[in-house]
Chain A
Amino acid sequence: MSTIEKRSEFYFPHRHLLSTEGLSPAEISGLLDLAEDAARQSLQVDKKTDTLRGRTQINLFFEDSTRTQSSFELAGKRLGADVMNMAVKASSINKGETLVDTAMTLNAMRPDILVVRHHAAGAVELLAQKVDCSVINAGDGSHQHPTQALLDALTIRRNKGRVEGLTVAICGDVRHSRVARSNISLLSTLGANLRIVAPSTLLPPAAENLGVEVRNNMREGLDGADVVMMLRLQFERMAGTFVPSTREYFHFFGLDREKLKYAKPDALIMHPGPMNRGVEIQSSVADDPRSVIREQVEMGVAVRMAVLSALARHLPNH
C-alpha cells in the first residue's frame, strides 16, 4: 500500500528545501499531509515503496549527527532510493578542498538529491547554487533546520488537531538554535502564537523584531502555553560564557514539574534532541505522558519521506 504516491495533486513549487522562510501555509500543509501518509506507510510490514527507485540520495554531513542522518537515510531507503552517506571526516574536505569544490565533485557523480548539514550558516545555500540536483538543508550553523520544524508542526497537529491559534513557548538557547529559527517562521506561518523564553544572553539580537513575544522567565513564558518546546544548550556554538553554570541555568530555565504547572494542564512537551537531562529538562518530565519527544523522532522519518517525495516530483525523468 503506497499511500504516499496517491497525493499526486500536491505540487511543491521549489527545487530545494533550504529554509522554512518563504513557504506558504498551503505548501506546509501539503507536506504535512504527505507525511501523515508516510507515517502510515512506516507502520506496514512492508515499509518500502518505489517512489524514488533508481534515484541517488547522498547524505553529506559536515557536522556530527546521529538522529538526523539516520532519519534521512531511513526515509530515502523506504522510498526506494539508493542512499549513500558521505563520511566527511575521512574525505577530501580535510585535505583542504573547499566546500564549492566538494559540491562540484559530488555533482559530477550525478546524484538526484543531496541532504546537507554544515556548521556554517548559509553553507547549504552556497552549495545549492553550485549543483544541478535538489538540495535539502539538514541544518546549517545557527540558521535553519527546516525538516525539524516540519516534524514539530506535524507532531503538534497530530496531538492538538491544529496549529493555528496555539500558544507555543520555545525555551532555552534560542540564540544558537537553528531549530528555533525554523520553527519561528514555520509555526507563525501556520498561525501559532510564538513566545521565546530565555535568559537575555541566549536571545538573538533584536529578538522582538522576529514576530514573537519575548520573555525572560519561565513563569511568564509558559503561562497558558499549549506547547512547551525545550531547546538544548549548544555549548559547541558558544564562544565564551553565556550562563554562569548549568546548575543555575536549570534552576531558572530547566523544565521541571514546578515550572510546567504554569503551562496549560494538557500542554505538550517537546524537545528536538539530543536532550541534556538535568540541564534543560528534568528527567521525569522528559518521560511524562505529555511528552511527545519520541513521537517527534517517529515523525522525523515521515516528514523526511514527504520532503524527499515532494522534491522528487520535479526531478527530470531522464
Chain B
Amino acid sequence: MDGNGVTDEKNGDQATILINARLLDPESGRDEEGGLLIEAGRIADLGPHLRRNAPEGARVVDCAGHLVAPGLIDMQVSIGEPGEEHRETLATASRAAAAGGVTTMICMPNTDPVMDDVALVDFMMRRARDTAIVHVLPMAALTHGLEGREMSEIGLLKAAGAIAFSNGQTSISNAGVMRRLLTYTRDFDALIVHHTEDTDLTGGGVMNEGEVSARLGLPGAPAAAESIMLERDVRLVELTGGRYHAAQISCARSLAVVREARLAGTAITCGTSINHLTLNENDVRPYRTFFKIRPPLRPETDRAAMVEGLAEGLIDVIVSGHDPQDVEVKRQPFEEAGDGAIGLETLLAAALRLYHCGDVGLAKLLQAMTFNPAKLLGLEAGRLAEGAPADIIVVDLDTPWVVDKAELRSRSKNTPFDEARMQGRVLRTFVAGQEVYAYGDRNFV
C-alpha cells in the first residue's frame, strides 16, 4: 500500500493534502475548487483556502484540477469467499474495487456456506481486515440458508457486524414469512435489501420476454415478475413499517410502483444496477452470455426510464451488481450459462456515460453511489466533510479509454463492458487516509 516512497509506518501518521482539486460533496452540494487535508484517516479540513496551501510536513498530492469526491459505496457485491475462491477472493475483489474507486463493498450473503451465522460474519470481517484493501461490510442472510422459510438471527447478526439483511438473488416468495421478517427487523432497525422476482412468473425465463427473446427462441421472463413482487412488498411495508430497500429494479413499471409508494408516504427505497442504466436487451444478441444477468437486461424504453428515475431521485442507489463467474459457467449455450457480470472496476466509468451524455448531473450521479447508500446503511463515509472518514477518490472525468478485460483485476473476467469506450477514470483511491490505488503506478497493479 505504499506507492510513493513513504514507509508504511510513517504513512499512517503523516498528513496528506490534496491540493488544486475540484471538491464535490454529494451531501452538501459543495462543488468548488480547493484542497482537502487528511489526518489520522479522517478529513481534517477542506475548502478553497487549501487550494494552494499545504501544511508543513504533509505529503502533497497535486490533483491538477481533477475531481475529488467521496469513495464509492457499492451495495451489491458478490464474492466467492468463502467457498468459491476460484471466482473471486476478498483480496482480488478489493483490488478491483480500489481501481474502480469503490472504497466500501457491501457483500452479498450467498457465499458457501451461506452467511447466516454469527461466526461466519465474524470470519468474513476478520478475513477482510487481513486481506482486503478497501472496507468490506457483510450483508447477512435474511433466512436460514437463503431458503426463504426460517428467519436468521437478525439481532445477533447485526450485533456481529452485519450491515443489512438480504436473501441474495432470491426472493422471499412466502408473503407470511416476509411480513414477519419486516416486523421483526423493525425492532432492530435493520434494513432488508430484497431481490424482487416472482419466480413462478419468471418460469424458466433466461432473458427479458419480448420481441428479442421471441426471435432468439429463448424463454423470456416478463418484467411483471419483478414489479408484482415489488408491489407485494410495498403492501407489506405499509402493514409492518419495516425498513425496506428493493435491491435492483429494472423496468418502468417497478419505477411507477416506487413512485406511488412514495406519494402514499410509504418509506421504501430502491436501487438499480449500472448494467440496467447503460445496457439493454439488444446487447444480448447474438447469445452473448456475458450479458446474462438477473434481473435481465430490459428494452431501451425501460433503460431510459431507469435513467429518468435516477435523475428524478426515485432511484436512490446505483450498484455494480459485481458477480464474478468463471469461463466455464459462461462459455455455454445461453440458456445453460450462469447469470452475473463483474462491475466493480467499471462502475464509475460506466456511470459517467450518463453524465457525459447530459442525462444525469454529476452530483446526483455520485450521490447514488456515495451519500445515499451511506445514509441507508448508517455509515459515516460517503461525504466530504470535516471529521468524515478519508475514503476519497480523485477522478479524471474526461480522458477516454477502452476497457480490456485482460487488464481488469477481478479474478473472473465476465464483464459486459469488454472493449467498451469509456470517458473518465479513477486516478487515486484513498481508504481511511491510506492510498490504495494510483493510476499508472506499478505499486498498485
Establish whether residues B209 and A205, one from each chain, have CB atoms under 8 Å apart when the complex forms.
yes
Chain A residues, Cβ within 8 Å of B222: 205
- Measured in the bound complex, the distance between the Cα atoms of B213 and A126 in whole Å is 17
Chain A residues, Cβ within 8 Å of B214: 204-207, 209-210
Establish whether residues A143 and B216, one from each chain, have CB atoms under 8 Å apart when the complex forms.
yes
Chain B residues, Cβ within 8 Å of A240: 203
Task: Kindly identify which residue among A98, A141, A143, A178 contacts B328, using a CB–CB cutoff of 8 Å.
Answer: A98
Establish whether residues A239 and B219, one from each chain, have CB atoms under 8 Å apart when the complex forms.
yes
Task: Kindly identify which residue among A99, A143, A205 contacts B210, using a CB–CB cutoff of 8 Å.
Answer: A205
Chain B residues, Cβ within 8 Å of A21: 215
- Given the known A-B contacts A98-B331, A239-B203, A239-B204, are A120 and B336 also in contact in the complex, defined by CB atoms under 8 Å? yes
In the complex, the chain B residue whose C-beta lies closest to that of A145 is B217
* B334 CB within 8 Å of chain A: yes
Task: Kindly identify which residue among A98, A100, A181 contacts B217, using a CB–CB cutoff of 8 Å.
Answer: A181
What size tier do the contact residues of chain B reach?
20 to 34
* A123 CB within 8 Å of chain B: yes
Smallest Cβ distance from A17 to chain B, in angstroms? 15
Establish whether residues B217 and A141, one from each chain, have CB atoms under 8 Å apart when the complex forms.
yes
- Given the known A-B contacts A206-B211, A206-B214, are A99 and B333 also in contact in the complex, defined by CB atoms under 8 Å? yes
* B335 CB within 8 Å of chain A: yes
Per-position 1/0 for B323-338, Cβ under 8 A of A? 0000010011111100
Chain A residues, Cβ within 8 Å of B333: 99, 118, 120-123, 126, 141
User: Within B252-286, which residues are at the interface with A (CB < 8 Å)?
Assistant: 286
Chain B residues, Cβ within 8 Å of A121: 216-218, 287, 333-335
Establish whether residues A210 and B217, one from each chain, have CB atoms under 8 Å apart when the complex forms.
no
* B220 CB within 8 Å of chain A: yes
Smallest Cβ distance from B278 to chain A, in angstroms? 23
In the complex, the chain A residue whose C-beta lies closest to that of B328 is A98
In the complex, the chain A residue whose C-beta lies closest to that of B331 is A100
- Measured in the bound complex, the distance between the Cα atoms of B287 and A205 in whole Å is 18
Smallest Cβ distance from A151 to chain B, in angstroms? 19
Chain A residues, Cβ within 8 Å of B211: 205-206, 209-210
Per-position 1/0 for A209-231, Cβ under 8 A of B? 11000000000000000000000
Establish whether residues B287 and A125, one from each chain, have CB atoms under 8 Å apart when the complex forms.
yes
Establish whether residues B215 and A125, one from each chain, have CB atoms under 8 Å apart when the complex forms.
no
Smallest Cβ distance from B415 to chain A, in angstroms? 19
- Measured in the bound complex, the distance between the Cα atoms of B204 and A240 in whole Å is 10
- Measured in the bound complex, the distance between the Cα atoms of B335 and A210 in whole Å is 22
Chain A residues, Cβ within 8 Å of B215: 21, 181, 210
- Given the known A-B contacts A126-B287, A239-B204, are A143 and B217 also in contact in the complex, defined by CB atoms under 8 Å? yes
Instruction: Determine which residue in B210, B333, B335, B336 has the highest number of CB atoms from chain A within 10 A of its CB, and name it.
Output: B333
Chain B residues, Cβ within 8 Å of A123: 333
- Measured in the bound complex, the distance between the Cα atoms of B220 and A15 in whole Å is 30
- Measured in the bound complex, the distance between the Cα atoms of B336 and A140 in whole Å is 13
Chain B residues, Cβ within 8 Å of A204: 214
* A296 CB within 8 Å of chain B: no
Chain A residues, Cβ within 8 Å of B216: 121-122, 143
- Measured in the bound complex, the distance between the Cα atoms of B285 and A143 in whole Å is 13
- Measured in the bound complex, the distance between the Cα atoms of B330 and A99 in whole Å is 12
Establish whether residues B286 and A141, one from each chain, have CB atoms under 8 Å apart when the complex forms.
no
Per the CB 8 Å criterion, the residue count for chain A at the interface is 26
Chain A residues, Cβ within 8 Å of B203: 239-240
Smallest Cβ distance from B200 to chain A, in angstroms? 9
In the complex, the chain A residue whose C-beta lies closest to that of B200 is A240
Instruction: Determine which residue in B204, B209, B334 has the highest number of CB atoms from chain A within 10 A of its CB, and name it.
Output: B334
Chain B residues, Cβ within 8 Å of A141: 217-218, 333, 335
Per-position 1/0 for A100-130, Cβ under 8 A of B? 1000000000000000001011110110000
Chain B residues, Cβ within 8 Å of A205: 209-211, 213-214, 220, 222
In the complex, the chain B residue whose C-beta lies closest to that of A176 is B217
In the complex, the chain B residue whose C-beta lies closest to that of A21 is B215
Smallest Cβ distance from A205 to chain B, in angstroms? 5
Smallest Cβ distance from B296 to chain A, in angstroms? 13
In the complex, the chain B residue whose C-beta lies closest to that of A239 is B204
User: Within A190-216, which residues are at the interface with B (CB < 8 Å)?
Assistant: 204-207, 209-210
Smallest Cβ distance from A106 to chain B, in angstroms? 16
Per-position 1/0 for A169-190, Cβ under 8 A of B? 0000000001001000000000
- Measured in the bound complex, the distance between the Cα atoms of B331 and A125 in whole Å is 12
Smallest Cβ distance from B207 to chain A, in angstroms? 10
- Measured in the bound complex, the distance between the Cα atoms of B209 and A160 in whole Å is 37
Smallest Cβ distance from A191 to chain B, in angstroms? 20
Establish whether residues B210 and A144, one from each chain, have CB atoms under 8 Å apart when the complex forms.
no
- Given the known A-B contacts A178-B217, A205-B210, are A122 and B328 also in contact in the complex, defined by CB atoms under 8 Å? no
In the complex, the chain B residue whose C-beta lies closest to that of A124 is B333
* A142 CB within 8 Å of chain B: yes
Establish whether residues A99 and B332, one from each chain, have CB atoms under 8 Å apart when the complex forms.
yes
- Measured in the bound complex, the distance between the Cα atoms of B75 and A103 in whole Å is 40
Smallest Cβ distance from B249 to chain A, in angstroms? 21
- Given the known A-B contacts A122-B286, A239-B204, are A142 and B209 also in contact in the complex, defined by CB atoms under 8 Å? no
Establish whether residues A120 and B210, one from each chain, have CB atoms under 8 Å apart when the complex forms.
no
In the complex, the chain A residue whose C-beta lies closest to that of B327 is A100
- Measured in the bound complex, the distance between the Cα atoms of B328 and A126 in whole Å is 13
- Measured in the bound complex, the distance between the Cα atoms of B332 and A126 in whole Å is 8
| 21 A–B contacts, CB within 8 A, in A order | A98-B331, A118-B333, A120-B333, A121-B217, A122-B216, A122-B218, A122-B333, A122-B335, A126-B333, A142-B217, A143-B217, A143-B218, A205-B209, A205-B211, A205-B213, A205-B214, A205-B220, A205-B222, A206-B210, A210-B215, A239-B203
Contacts beyond the supplied A141-B218, A209-B214: 9 A-B pairs with Cβ under 8 Å: A98-B328, A120-B335, A121-B334, A122-B287, A141-B335, A142-B217, A178-B217, A205-B214, A205-B222
Which residues from chain B sit less than 8 Å from chain A, CB to CB? Answer: 203-204, 209-211, 213-220, 222, 286-287, 328, 331-336
Q: Which 6 A-B pairs have the closest CB atoms?
A: A143-B217, A122-B287, A120-B333, A123-B333, A204-B214, A142-B217
